[in-house]
A and B are shown apart, each in its own frame.
Chain A
Amino acid sequence: MKQVMEPITDVLQEQQRIASLLIQKDLALAETNDRLNQQVNQLRVLQTIINQTRCCYGQPEILEAFAKGLVVDLNFSIALILLNRPPFKVGIEYGYQSIPALAKVRQHTLVKQVYHSNTALFVLNSVVAVPAQKQLAELLGVTSLAVLPLMVRDKKYGVLIGGINHPYEHLSLADMEFLQVYANSMTIALESIAMEDRQKHIDALKSEFVSVASHQLRTPLSVIKWILKMVLDGDFTKPEEQRSFLTKAFHTNEHMIKLVNDLLDASSIEEGKMEYSYSDFNLVELVNEVLVDLKLLCERKQIKLHTNTEQGGVIMINADRKKIAIVFTNLISNAIKFTPANGKISLLINKKAQQTVEIRVQDTGIGMTREDQDKLFTKFFRSEQSKKTQTEGSGLGLFIVKNIMEQHNGDIKVASTLGEGTTFTCRLPLGS
């Protein structure tokens, strides 16, 4: 009996050995197949998006196409595109669930690091990651994530964040390579529409400049020309008469210089060439500096100026100091310009929730209509009231102000009642 059993046992063992080999091979093949399949899919998705965005899409469409690609067609649970510089502007948030702590993600050190160092960050599995990475994963509500810089040549657009919330499926080393390509393709798409837009803008600017030069500069130039001619011709018999006309010529010239400066600022904003240099500084201090000169103007017009900055205080922001000074000079001198004698202006600075500071400039001036408020921040716009009261202005100041605020991830809003006054409310993110 034993003699019969032995070969059978051998055969069974052999059968089992072959089965084991087969299964091992099968497992290995399945894994390779999965990976290849995923790579083919990744490339197919990227190809589709590139083809889609090639045909004259705008920025919002490009952001959506790339965010959707990650979430719907690839394995991601969320996609978040943050634009500009930290603490960023949300370009798009895409996913089946919303991100638990979006505001904190925008402020997170690791995200800022990616932006500044232009080096991607990958957290393959948050369970075994270092505390800061684990924290970022929690803020995003994911278990695996990538933060990718959006930079082409020397231009930074922001960061792309993709996250997977899955107990077993994580980003792999192979995914890292693909995601870099993905982010680069997106940046190039953004850059190409930006360039197209810029080209169109420059063309428009040129023609605009010509028309502005002819309208806004010709009148004051001819005023100056006629005054000078009268002086040369000896038309003024009394010295005080001549002095009065020369003073008028001087002011007209001053106005022209401001106009030309505003025009230059506006065009550099539009060409995206306005340069910013950021530093940490105390906003209260800056406002008080700006107020030194403007207080005199108020006194001259007998306007009462009320502020909460005189007692000092520290509100730190990270911004371009000179540009922020332009913002407040513009807002306050506008308020003075449009407020009649014996009126009131108040300037209040307060910290608000979500790491922002609010600056409110309120006057008891001529105010403006709803329609005028809607167009207030557009270039060369001047309200009906300001034209009626013949107040000087290029119509560029608030356009510049708004752009500076946006560049700092802030915003500006206006509320006004005709004949009662106007309030400008600005918000800026606080510095770290």
Chain B
Amino acid sequence: MAYFFSSVGHSKNINAHRAGQQAAQEALTGLHGKTANLVIVFSSVVFNQVAMLAGVRSVTGEVPLVGCSSAGEIITTGPSNKSVVVMLLAADTVTFNIGAGLAIEKNAFLAGKQFAESLIQQTTQGKVAMVLPDGLKGDGADIVRGVQTVFGTQFLMAGGAAGDDFLFKETYQYFNQQVHSGAVVGTLMSGDVKFGIGVRHGWKPIGRLHRVTKVQGATILEIDDQPAINIYEELFGKQVVDITTSPFARIAITYPLGIKVNDTAQEYLLRAPFSVDNKGAITCAATVPKQAEIRLMIGGKDEAIAAARLAAQQCLVGIQQRGGKKITTAIIFNCIARNKVLAQDAKVEIAAIREVLGRDVQMIGFYTYGEQAPIDFCDEQQSLARHSEFCNETVVILGFGE
């Protein structure tokens, strides 16, 4: 019988090399002699990234590896921080190809395209991709569009933008033994892949409706013909939005902007504001459409946890529709804003996901600065008319079954 097996390791050792080594060793032990086809690594930036990755590779050898730095790690038993988490995947009917696109800071679209081209050169049979971009150096939506010019708009992808422990300074992407910054890395899966993707946020609008009146890509210059920052200052008070003491993202990320996609969509598409300039223009994690109707959004614990359950259920439905009998593996891309809103209840959210997916599922994941997932598929039928988007404040669950 075809199998899709996975195993997770975790380490909080303060020595970067040993932490990587321990996490990889634990994952390898859990594989019970099966040959790993892919290594996934998520790590805190407290570790020297090169040393940490060398530690992982000292155990996993030449097995293809992708991963990124995070703003908190997730494993089967719950959230973690200041740690390295490693997942080893072993599947007999699935092929994993890995790819990388560089220099997002120069051209995010081209980086996405380069990433996709490197994958399509290896196989044209790809079913789904896991994408891990640098979320700080360029427009996340441009990266997604770059990938779509190669694979088509209907192509399914799920992933999360790398984090850096809520510092908003620099994130890293791992490709085999290399540590990049400003890159997009990931894996394309082909063959008999029984996967499902769940995506939900649970954020609710607050305050009145606004219209984006002037925008350049991911930078909103004006809202309602006023400097964009007014929308925050009006509700927060000027002193709260003082970016001289802390980056704007650290305050605003839990109150993103919600874009009404269309009348049938069940949830708003969210854009997390990352920075603000002296003219009051807000730069978001990804493109905001011109003339978009937007509202300020607010998150709550109960809604966030309920959304996570829904996402998990959606993921299960997807696996079943592709002939999967049992889910074995889940990769969770969970927005850092959710971690901030949930605080001590972050573990409740992960436990809720595990409860829906089943006790036997192996889970890995991280807290992200943005997520990629197919949206517009929020109906339970999983309509195929959907396309992948860059999201924020969202939990994305990429599940695999056998």
Candidates B206, B240, B343; contact of A27 at CB < 8 Å: B240
CB distance from A284 to the nearest CB of B (A): 44
Give the distance to chain B from A22, nearest Cβ to Cβ, in Å. 6
- Bound: A37/B342 CA distance, A: 11
Majority SS at the chain A contact face: helix
Please, which residues of chain B bring their CB within 8 A of the CB of A96? 14, 16, 46-47, 82
Q: How far is the CB of A60 from chain B (nearest CB, A)?
A: 16
Q: Given A15-B208, A95-B14, are A27 and B236 neighbors across the interface (CB < 8 Å)?
A: yes
Count of B interface residues, CB-CB < 8 Å = 28
Q: Which A residue sits closest to B205, measured CB to CB?
A: A19
Q: Is the beta-carbon distance between A19 and B296 smaller than 8 angstroms?
A: yes
Are A34 and B208 in contact, with the CB atoms below 8 A?
no
Q: Are B343 and A168 neighbours in the complex by a CB distance under 8 Å?
A: no
The answer to whether A15 and B207 touch across the interface, beta carbons within 8 angstroms, is yes
B167 touches A71 (CB 8 A): no
Is residue B29 within 8 Å, beta carbon to beta carbon, of the partner chain? no
Please, which residues of chain B bring their CB within 8 A of the CB of A167?
Answer: 167, 169
Q: How far is the CA of A200 from the CA of B382 in the complex (A)?
A: 73
Let me know if A16 is at the binding interface, CB within 8 A. Answer: yes
Q: How far is the CB of B268 from chain A (nearest CB, A)?
A: 15
Give residues of chain B (4-55) contacting chain A, Cβ–Cβ below 8 Å: 12, 14, 16, 46-47
- What B residues does A22 contact at CB under 8 A? 206, 298
When each residue 341-358 of chain B gets 1 if its CB lies under 8 Å from chain A and 0 otherwise, what string results? 101100000000000000
Shortest CB-to-CB span from A162 to chain B, Å, is: 14
Residues of chain A within 8 A of B255, CB atoms compared: 23
B235, B245, B250: the one contacting A23 at CB < 8 Å is: B235
B208 & A16 in contact (Cβ 8 Å cutoff): yes
Q: How far is the CA of A37 from the CA of B234 in the complex (A)?
A: 29
Query: Nearest CB to that of B13 among chain A residues?
Result: A72
Chain A residues contacting B245 (CB-CB under 8 Å) are 168
Residues on A with beta carbons closer than 8 Å to the beta carbon of B247: 168
Whether B234 contacts A16 by the Cβ 8 Å rule is yes
B250 touches A168 (CB 8 A): yes
Instruction: Mark contacts of B171-209 with chain A using CB atoms, 8 A cut-off: 1 yes-contact digit, 0 otherwise.
Output: 000000000000000000000000000000000001110
Question: Is residue A235 contacting chain B, with contact meaning CB distance below 8 A?
Answer: no
* Contact call A12/B208, Cβ cutoff below 8 A: yes
* A12-B224 Cα distance, complex, nearest whole Å: 14
The reply to whether A33 and B343 contact each other, CB–CB distance below 8 Å, is yes
Are A23 and B343 in contact, CB atoms less than 8 angstroms apart? no
Q: Residue of B at shortest CB range from A33?
A: B343
A20/B235 in contact, CB under 8 A: yes
How many angstroms from the CA of A34 to the CA of B344 in the assembled complex? 9
Tell me, yes or no, whether B392 is within 8 Å of chain A by CB: no
B210-258 interface (Cβ within 8 A of A): 234-237, 240, 245-247, 250, 254-255
A30 contacts B by Cβ under 8 Å: yes
Nearest CB in chain B: distance from A78 CB, A: 10
Q: Which of B82, B169, B207 contacts A16 (CB 8 A)?
A: B207
Complex Cα distance, B240 from A15, in Å, reads: 21
In the assembled complex, how far is the CB of residue B375 from the closest CB belonging to chain A, in whole angstroms? 25
- Across the interface, do B234 and A72 meet the contact criterion of CB distance under 8 Å? no
Residue in B167, B169, B208, B237 whose beta carbon sits within 8 Å of that of A24 in the complex = B237
What B residues does A72 contact at CB under 8 A? 12, 14, 82
Tell whether, in the assembled complex, residue B16 and residue A19 are in contact, meaning their CB atoms are under 8 Å apart: no
Chain B residue nearest to A96 (CB atoms) is: B46
Instruction: Say yes or no for A353: interface residue by CB 8 A criterion.
Output: no
- When the two chains form their complex, are residues A23 and B344 in contact, meaning their CB atoms are under 8 A apart? no
Closest to B300 in A: A26
A40, CB-defined interface residue at 8 Å: yes
Once bound together, how far apart are the Cα atoms of A24 and B255, in whole Å? 12
Q: Are B46 and A16 in contact (CB under 8 A)?
A: no
Task: List chain A residues, Cβ under 8 A from B254.
Answer: 30
The answer to whether B235 and A19 have CB atoms under 8 Å apart is yes
Which residues does chain B contribute within 8 Å of A19, judged by CB atoms? 206-208, 235, 296
Whole-angstrom distance between the Cβ of A10 and the nearest chain B Cβ: 12
Query: Is A338 engaged at the interface, CB distance under 8 Å to the other chain?
Result: no
Q: How far is the CA of A33 from the CA of B341 in the complex (A)?
A: 10
Residues of B within 8 A of A71 (CB): 14
Q: How far is the CA of A384 from the CA of B254 in the complex (A)?
A: 76
Q: Is A40 a contact of B235 with CB atoms below 8 Å?
A: no
Q: Is A182 an interface residue (CB 8 A)?
A: no
**Beta-carbon contacts of B249-284 to A below 8 Å, as 1s and 0s?**
010001100000000000000000000000000000
Q: Is A94 an interface residue when CB atoms closer than 8 A count as contact?
A: yes
Residue of B nearest to A40 (CB): B344
Residue of A nearest to B296 (CB): A19
Given the interface pairs A72-B82, A94-B14, the reply to whether A37 lies near B207 with Cβ below 8 Å is no
Which of these, A12, A20, A30, A33, contacts B234 with CB under 8 Å? A20
Q: A7 to chain B: closest CB distance in Å? A: 14
Please measure, in the bound complex, the distance between the C-alpha atom of A20 and the C-alpha atom of B238, giving whole angstroms: 12
Q: Which residue of B lies closest to A23 (CB)?
A: B235
| Chain A: CB-nearest residue to B82 | A72
Inter-chain CA distance A20–B240, complex, in Å, is: 12
Chain A residues, CB < 8 A from B234: 16, 20
Please indicate which of the listed interface residues A26, A72, A96 has the most CB atoms of chain B within 10 Å of its own CB: A96
In the complex, which residues 244-297 of chain A have their Cβ closer than 8 Å to any Cβ of chain B? none
Q: In angstroms, how far is the closest chain B Cβ from the Cβ of A43?
A: 13
Nearest CB on B from A20, distance (A): 5
Assembled-state Cα–Cα distance A168/B12 (Å): 23
Which residue of A26, A34, A95, A166 contacts B343 across the interface (Cβ within 8 Å)? A34
Interface mask (A163-174 → B, CB under 8 Å = 1, otherwise 0): 000111000000
Closest-CB distance, A425 to chain B (whole angstroms) = 33
A23 touches B14 (CB 8 A): no
Instruction: Compute how far the CA of A27 lies from the CA of B232 in the bound complex, rounded to whole angstroms.
Output: 13
Write the chain A residue with the least CB distance to B206.
A19
**In the complex, what residues of A have CB within 8 A of residue B240's CB?**
27
Residue pair A23, B208 in contact (C-beta under 8 Å): no
Given contacts A22-B206, A72-B82, contact A16 B235 (CB under 8 A): yes
Give CA–CA (A330, B398) in the complex, Å: 74
Contacts of A94 in B (CB 8 A): 14
Closest to A22 in B: B206
- Lowest 6 A-B CB distances belong to which pairs? A19-B207, A96-B46, A20-B235, A19-B206, A168-B246, A37-B344
Known: A168-B167, A168-B247. 5 other contacts (CB 8 A): A16-B207, A16-B234, A22-B206, A23-B236, A37-B343
Q: A residues bordering B, Cβ < 8 Å?
A: 12, 15-16, 19-20, 22-24, 26-27, 30, 33-34, 37, 40, 68, 71-72, 77, 94-96, 166-168
User: Interface residues, chain B, CB within 8 Å of chain A?
Assistant: 12, 14, 16, 46-47, 82, 167, 169, 206-208, 234-237, 240, 245-247, 250, 254-255, 296, 298, 340-341, 343-344
- Show 17 A/B contacts (Cβ-Cβ < 8 Å), sorted by A: A12-B208, A15-B207, A16-B208, A16-B234, A16-B235, A19-B206, A19-B296, A20-B235, A22-B206, A23-B236, A30-B340, A37-B344, A72-B82, A94-B14, A96-B14, A167-B169, A168-B245
